[in-house]
Every structure is written in structure tokens, then in C-alpha cells.
Amino acid sequence: MIDQVKETVKYLENRGFNHPDLGIILGTGLSALTNHIEILEEISYEDIPNFPIATVEFHKGKLIYGKLEGKSIVAMSGRFHFYEGYTMQEVVFPVRVMKYLGIKKLLISNAAGNMNLNWKKGELMLIDDHINLQPDNPLRGKNTGTFGPIFTDMSQPYDAEMNALMEQVAAKDQIPLNKGVYVAVAGPNLETRAEYRYLRNIGADVVGMSTVPEVIAANQMGLPVSAVSVLTDDCDPDHLEPVNIDDIIATAASAEKHLVALFKEVVQNL
């Protein structure tokens, strides 16, 4: 794995991906931030050595290098999910590549189902902590200790300084930003009423199918990370309606203006 990471890093450096300050992962339906990046280089995942290929139709599958608010950034437009059939090693491969390219901090976004009855779809949630219910772990297996401690401490998986900045920016700019717990499940089906009750009872506010593997990998490598969920559907088990994926994508798109404004000012101040 380390040899593959180094091979990919060398390829990207030869394509101009030189010394990025920050990494950004853009989740489902959340690609509008790329419109604000001064793009210097853009490569489809399928053209990058050792990269998995995005299979979800609304994930564009491009790695972008450029400038955002005066910072050099590398951004993933589209990510990889365990439910697509990838191994956890493949899911977190881009995070390891970004770290070896030189990023100092990582920002993550995702689309998530809202189980907190005090919140509404279309709002944002800063992830303060998470619960991992996915059936595999990116630190499991041979040679994964190459990237850091196998028994990685997760007492504070999300960087306190970055999260505080997120909250300060949101308060100043009147961006509605909740804070809570994200639970990661395998997917790809959505949850039953009983499953939503269970997830709420164990302490989760929102549910999704991504982010946690990347956060675990980042923590193993000592890479500070902050993550924001866009709440795309209301998951009240007592008033549950069939979910329309097109509606989820549309809600994510309508909430993007807040996410874009938040990420831009946070990047400016990091």
C-alpha cells in the first residue's frame, strides 16, 4: 500500500500537485465549492494510478488542484464508499495520498439523514463525534501500521481548533450550524423505522454511509480533520415517508450555499 501511495503521489506531483496546504472531500451533491476554486489541474480518478473509480452517478470523480481563498488545496469531487464494493483500504487511499502530498489539514463534507427532531433538513451539522457501525476498519490488515499507530487514539477525532473556527464563522455569518454525532452505517439501503429508533437511542443525531473511514485514517496519520454534514432528509420513525434520492440531491444542492460560504471563510482563516 505504501508503494502505491508513493507511486500515486509522484504521478500527481509531476502533474503539478505541489505542496497543497489543505485537502477537501466533497460529498454527495456537494460539488458547488469547485466553482470557487481557481483550478490549476484537474484529473479524472480513472486516470490516476492506483485510484479507485467512482461508481455513484452523482459523484463526479475528479481530483482538483488549485487555489481557494489564497490557499493551495487538493479537492476530491466525489468520494468512495464501502457499499460500492471497495475495501476500506481503497476508501481511504486518497486521504493517505493527500497526506503524503503534504496537506496539513483536512475538511470533509457529506450528505446525511437527520434524526434530531429539533433540526430540519437543509441545515448543516458540525460533526463533534461519531459512532462507527461499518463492518470493517481501514486500520485492519497487514502493513497498515506503516501510516501510523494501528491502535489509533480516537478520543477526539475532530480537531477542536478547526471546529471552534467553524462555529465562530457560522455565528458571525449567521449560517445555521448545528453540532452533534454522526453514525456511519454500511448502506446502501436506507434505514427502517426500528433502525432509526435504535440509532437515535445509541446517541446519534444524523446517519450516513461515509466520512468515518477517512477520519480514522486521518487520525492515524496525525492529520487534523473537521467535517460538516448537510442534512438532506428528515428521519423521524414516527412520521417516516419513502425517500426520493432525487429529493435528497436537490436538498443538498439548495443547502450548498451555506456550506460553500462556511468552507470558504474557514479556509481563509486556517
Q: Enter the pTM of the model.
A: 0.94
Q: What is the pLDDT of residues 147-179, one digit of tens each?
A: 999 999 999 999 999 999 999 999 999 999 999
138: left (phi over 0), alpha (psi -120 to 50) or beta: alpha
Q: What is the pLDDT of residue 56?
A: 52
Nearest Cα neighbor of 125 from 270, 10, 229 is 229
- Ordered by start, the domain boundaries in the chain are 2-269
CATH 3.40.50.410 fits 2-269, yes or no: no
Distance CA 251, CA 144 (A): 38
Strands 177-184 and 71-77: unpaired
Cβ partners under 8 Å of residue 110, min gap 6: 27, 28, 30, 182, 208, 210, 211, 227, 228, 229, 230
Q: What is the pLDDT of residues 34-85, one digit of tens each?
A: 999 999 999 999 899 999 875 554 445 899 999 999 999 999 998 899 999 9
